[in-house]
Amino acid sequence: KGVARCYIGGSVLYFEYCNIDYIDTLDQGDNVALLDADKLKYPLRVRRWQEGDSFIPFGMMGRKKVSDFLTDRKMSVVEKSRQFVLVSGDDVVWVVGRRIDDRYAITRKTENVFRVVRDVL
């Protein structure tokens, strides 16, 4: 299976498909997204966020616009313009380096994990 990678801005994303048994801790930090691989629609796409994009931030119940989420994080207009998202179908599943979508988080029922790591160059 191996690891695929994608260069975005000043970062590189590493994509890896793995079994839940190989994940030793769920606390991986903001630069790692652990997603339930069986809930994703492939192919995944990486792009800059767009006006109107929304997601359900991990740990929250309601939908939030990516724009509002970034504003709440006190990001400058320049930082916001450089923000990437990982998209599955029509859903933003990860505001890269910030927060995953709650619907795609791994749960007790998860068997297969899609792990994405962001490394700053």
- Each residue of 75-101: pLDDT tens digit? 999 999 999 999 999 999 999 999 999
Yes or no: say if 14 and 2 are a contact pair by the CB < 8 Å rule: no
Low-confidence ranges of the chain (pLDDT < 50): none
3-8, strands of its sheet edge to edge = 3-8, 11-19, 112-120, 32-36
- What pLDDT was estimated at residue 89? 96
- What pLDDT was estimated at residue 2? 66
Tokens of 78: 């320049």
pTM (2 d.p.): 0.91
Helix ranges, 2-113 (H): 66-72, 77-81
Strands 3-8 and 99-100, sheet pairing: unpaired
